[in-house]
Structure 1
Amino acid sequence: MTDREGRSDLEDQSKLGETDRTMDEDTEQIWDLQDRADDLSEESSMLSQLECSVCCSSFDNIFRTPKLLDCTHTFCLECLSRLHTISPAPHNPSGESKHLTCPICRHHTPLPQDGPPALTTNRQVLCQLPRHQREEEPVWLEGKKLCCQSSRGGSGPESAVCIYIGENKAVGVPLQTNQLDYDQMDRRSKYNKSVFFVILVLLVFSASWCIILTICIKSGSKDSDSTAVVPLNHTLDLPPNLNGWIK
């Protein structure tokens, strides 16, 4: 083997090594992209757990305290109180409300005597809120108002902060329309989450396809460059009679 052939073999081996390293780097990029997609999906699912599926508002420790029903569905206190006010559940002979209907699965949850504020608080969700919202504030129901004590201190009704949770003030609107609004908001929330997941999958697929296509193009160009062309005048090993014909 001549020196020129030896150098050509070394160049081919180095090019093959570069191709392998490039493919390894691209493979690592694909895995990193998939890991990022998994992290994004976990973050989106975590964020969806920290918001009410009815009003799509983030939970807090006052009016939107996460309340857990017997069916394991969690909603904010304001939505459950509003649902209880506009569509009261059947009452027993003593006049106390018997249950609260879940907006999603229609499962019945026994309602405490103090109303929705006395429902079980989802501590697991509450602990995931910001540090200053992890302690539940006392909230009570006064007719069609949900009230809490003002942060300025004081005592009495004047120091309370209240929100109205009654039915709409529009005349002639039946209460069933409000129940349908809850279903529509829930379906809209699920639709938005599905659209976000589909867009995320399409982005991951497009990025993976671009990386794979880049790998194929690079490997194809490396293979074409590694093909050595032997010049015609390099005929040292040929018989003398053939050398004359080639010249």
Structure 2
Amino acid sequence: MMNNLFSIFDPSTNILNLPLNWISTFIGLMFIPYSFWFIPNRHTIIWNFISNKLHNEFKTLLGNNGFKGSTFIFISLFFFILFNNFLGLFPYIFTSTSHLTISLSISLSLWLSFMIYGWINNTQHMFIHMIPQGTPTILMPFMVLIETISNIIRPGTLAVRLTANMIAGHLLLTLLSNTETSMSNYLLFILIFIQILLLILESAVAVIQAYVITILSTLYSSEVN
């Protein structure tokens, strides 16, 4: 029995007080060496197709000022988040992206690297970016304050967006599954059908959230150049 509804998100599996649920985050690394021995098939063709599409899109967002190869950072981020989102849909596997420990670590490290690079190398551009073009002189101090606050909360909004969307779907599936013991047979079939639809929706959310986080991170990086 669960102590409370949110206990399904607790990393409670451990051996010798070492949490094992976080190991699911690194399962994808096990498949990388084997992928070099695969004969090209539909799986690799689809994977390369997605990677090329993401590369072209991120390259367009970064513009001409972006460094060569910087798109691969965001492509790797997309696949990392996507893998962990999908992994959490399987039974008895811990969803690491539903915790702020993972999502905030990713967003905060990216944001700090963008800010440090921007303020050191493009200080004037960073100051100009804080005041939108055409702002009246009397409103400039307020615009600087607003832009500063909106810039500071960016890593938090990225992390909370990913965590909240992952938790919401899992909680809904858990709530529905806990009501099946008191249902009749025909209502049980309806509940299973609803859960299948929710699982499909959660699969779509896993892709969309990975894409949204990566796109926003790319846009934030393009602002410091």
State the TM-score, normalized to the length of structure 2: 0.31
More helix by share: 2
State the TM-score, normalized to the length of structure 1: 0.28
More strand by share: 1
Larger RCO, structure (CA 8 Å, separation 6 or more): 2
